[in-house]
Structure 1
Amino acid sequence: MAKPTIRFKGYTDDWEQRKLGDVLERRIEQRQQSEEYPRLAFASGQGVIPLSERKTNNREQLTKDEYTKKYLVTELNDIVYNPANVKYGAIDRNKCGRGLISPIYVTFTTNEIPGFIERIVTSHDFQQRALRFEEGTVTKRQSVNPEDLVTLDILVAPKREEQQKIATYFDSLDHLITLHQRKCEETKILKKYMLQKMFPQNGQKVPEIRFKGFTDDWEQRKLGDVFKEYSEKNHTELPALTIIQGGGTVKREDSDRNLMYDKSNLSNYKMVRKDDFIVHLRSFEGGLEKASSDGIISPAYHTFHSDVADSRFYYPYFRSHEFIKHKLVPHVYGIRDGRSIDIDGMKTIEIPYTSTEEQQKIGDYLESIDHHITLHQRKCEELQNIKKFMLQNMFV
């Protein structure tokens, strides 16, 4: 019985087995580019896009016969694929619109619901079956010919209404995923912009953007005056932590590196308190890391605490290009793999300093931005998991 596990109400018929060639017809018309038929690009993971959005440099634009050359016509909702790149998912529905693509691609039209057929041909199972037709021994030349592709069997919902409901459902899921991805990117751009504006730039004494009520000049203070190094040992009652560059710390037992460590001797491990800074002498390229919780860390690390600083305020600064490349690198010695931070030199670095009240305000703001970024990332992951589950259960 060919029926999906999850189905819209009112549909009970078995799905029908068809050859892909029964539902797709190859489009072979070629034209010169014009206003009505602009050049388009096609790329794995992006689908059909305007040529200007292509991530790679497109040398074809430089050819003299650009406007006399003929290209392959593709229309909205066509199924397009790259015979040489099926392995990397270069098969998709044209969501961009009418235009011209390189003749190295293949484009099909369908009389079924395009969004329904799209989900079949973009599935991992379909692509794995298609790869069995790969020809050529050199990796770069391996390709899946359209004549072979259309011989593959697929299972199709017999009623167009059911196909349409399935296509609309996945379109709405994709729309939501794109929405959260976009929101996430926008929030990251906002954070980058605000970090530049909320810290004084190029020798200025005050930042461009400031919370109301703060008017005093910012100071420059030595890092070692604001943050004090400490080294407390014999705290084996606390969890051993692993440092994640750019991601704080995690309990070592929860990390994939857990098996690499000797668990027998933790007495010489250093204690670190939540929000204190951690420096590994050889990790200067990643800047300073912040502890996500109380715990103990390898004696290879140095730990810094401050009673007059908000670590949320300093964390993005300590990981900024300005701090790492211009302030920290002059205190790095050695050559190649043997390079290391001169910790005493690092303590002499001048860092921006303002009142703890203003630091906290900025820290609160940056924390709320990070919260929004995490929220959109989490929502994206949830929706992608739902999509994966539904694709497995709404198709046969």
Structure 2
Amino acid sequence: MKYVHYGDIHTNIADEIDKNNNLPFINEIYKEYDELKLDDVIVADASEDYKGIADAAVIISNLPYTIIAGLHTIALRPTSLIKGYFLYHIFKTENFKRFGYKIGTGLKVFGISYNNLAKYKVYYPQEIEEQEKIIGILSNLTNSINLHERKCEELALIKKALLQELFPKKDEIKPEVRYKNFSDAWEQRRLGEGTIKIGDGLHGTPKYSTNGDVQFINGNNLINGKVVVTSETKKVTSSEQSKDDKELNQNTILMSINGTIGSLAWYRNENLMLGKSVAYIEVSKFDKKFVYTYLQTDKVKYYFMNSLTGTTIKNLGLKAIRETPLLIPNIEEQQKIGSFFQHLDSLIALHQRKLEKLKQLKKFLLQNMFI
């Protein structure tokens, strides 16, 4: 017997449930619960935030075992007028989510009762065939999203493994895997030895300007190798920029050093002013792609975590960054390793962009295929 808990729905362990689901088996016998069947919908009636109110799952295939709806769930068995899989998609729409926000109750844990859930007015095509066509479109899109998610996860695991193999492990002076014709031991150096300068941004608050054309960024703007500007990112005028802000260049790596530690981004000629939670590293004597990759290794991350200062909010100091211990091969091997990981990062980014576009398409269809 398997058991659908509301937490399983919120974490997507229970979503579109088929025989390959990861729900746990249980040993207890719950005679008071009805067995769920194909096309039944299970709704979470409790959530720790409003976004999760009435999250839903649906049984999409016949299962070779008994499955029941458990703690803090509402089980729905649609009539012959509407497919449960269609109803499941209705529960994913923004219209329904807004309904949930309005009717949800509670302070720390938000809930929705069956009686309140039943108040939602559902619109659906009278022809089952039309419902099935809509289900088919969205199901195919979901399968494509799942495929790209798995691909992104696989590439991330491959990258993690290669970071361990192409860089020396603790107490080693050579990596496990080498490019052909490279066999020399790597040399112990400090990050500061291969850079022109390492610094950070403004320790204070600049004068913001809605008419400014300079983005004032902090560590949370560094995402997946890029500077990501959002609607919440403040702007300043060029007069607020420091000399160092204006001298950022193609050899500059940006890194978060306050709160979130070690997020990286390349500087790509954006018009920026750095806040105190961003460090800039201008690479000179080492290969910049190699350094960018090295900063992502477990060995360097461990060094950073053991170099933090502060109590409530942790901070990585500039001295610690300059003294980051590195093992460095000759420049040719650096270039090969750096270029390889840049290509791998580009491949990961490509799949992430495809994944994001598919998610945006699904969101658009949910908004426009339902009333």
Which structure 2 residue ranges, 5 or more long, are not aligned?
Answer: 200-212
Residue 214 (structure 1) aligned with residue 175 (structure 2): no
TM-score, normalised to structure 2, is: 0.75
Correspondence for 1:129: 99
Q: 1:302 to 1:374 in 2, by over 3 A?
A: closer
Point out the more displaced range, 219-228 or 321-330. 321-330
Point out the more displaced range, 218-227 or 197-206. 218-227
Q: How do 1:179-218 and structure 2 match up within 5 A?
A: 179-218=147-186
Residue 94 (structure 1) aligned with residue 46 (structure 2): no
Secondary structure of 1:175's counterpart equals helix
Using the TM superposition, give the Cα deviation of residue 38 of structure 1 relative to its aligned residue in structure 2, in angstroms: 3.1
Correspondence for 1:375: 350
Q: 1:302 to 1:193 in 2, by over 3 A?
A: closer
Correspondence for 1:167: 135
Correspondence for 2:9: 43
Using the TM superposition, give the Cα deviation of residue 272 of structure 1 relative to its aligned residue in structure 2, in angstroms: 1.8
Residue 351 (structure 1) aligned with residue 320 (structure 2): no
Residue 140 (structure 1) aligned with residue 102 (structure 2): no
Equivalent residue for 1:273, pick from 246, 249, 256: 249
Correspondence for 1:78: 40
Using the TM superposition, give the Cα deviation of residue 390 of structure 1 relative to its aligned residue in structure 2, in angstroms: 2.0
Equivalent residue for 1:386, pick from 344, 349, 361: 361
Secondary structure of 1:314's counterpart equals helix
What is the letter of the counterpart of residue 28 of structure 2? Y
Distance (Å, rounded) in 2 between the aligned partners of 1:131 and 1:335: 36
Secondary structure of 1:156's counterpart equals coil
Residue deviations 1:308-365 (CA, integer Å, cap 9, x gap): 42222221322444224326744x667766966253x644443110122222221222
Q: 1:122 to 1:364 in 2, by over 3 A?
A: same
Using the TM superposition, give the Cα deviation of residue 373 of structure 1 relative to its aligned residue in structure 2, in angstroms: 1.6
Distance (Å, rounded) in 2 between the aligned partners of 1:113 and 1:149: 17
Distance (Å, rounded) in 2 between the aligned partners of 1:338 and 1:286: 8
Distance (Å, rounded) in 2 between the aligned partners of 1:128 and 1:284: 33
Using the TM superposition, give the Cα deviation of residue 372 of structure 1 relative to its aligned residue in structure 2, in angstroms: 1.8
Secondary structure of 1:211's counterpart equals coil
Correspondence for 1:341: 317
Q: How many equivalent pairs are there?
A: 339
Q: Percent identity?
A: 23
Residue 314 (structure 1) aligned with residue 297 (structure 2): no
What is the letter of the counterpart of residue 190 of structure 1? I
TM-score, normalised to structure 1, is: 0.71
Residue 113 (structure 1) aligned with residue 78 (structure 2): no
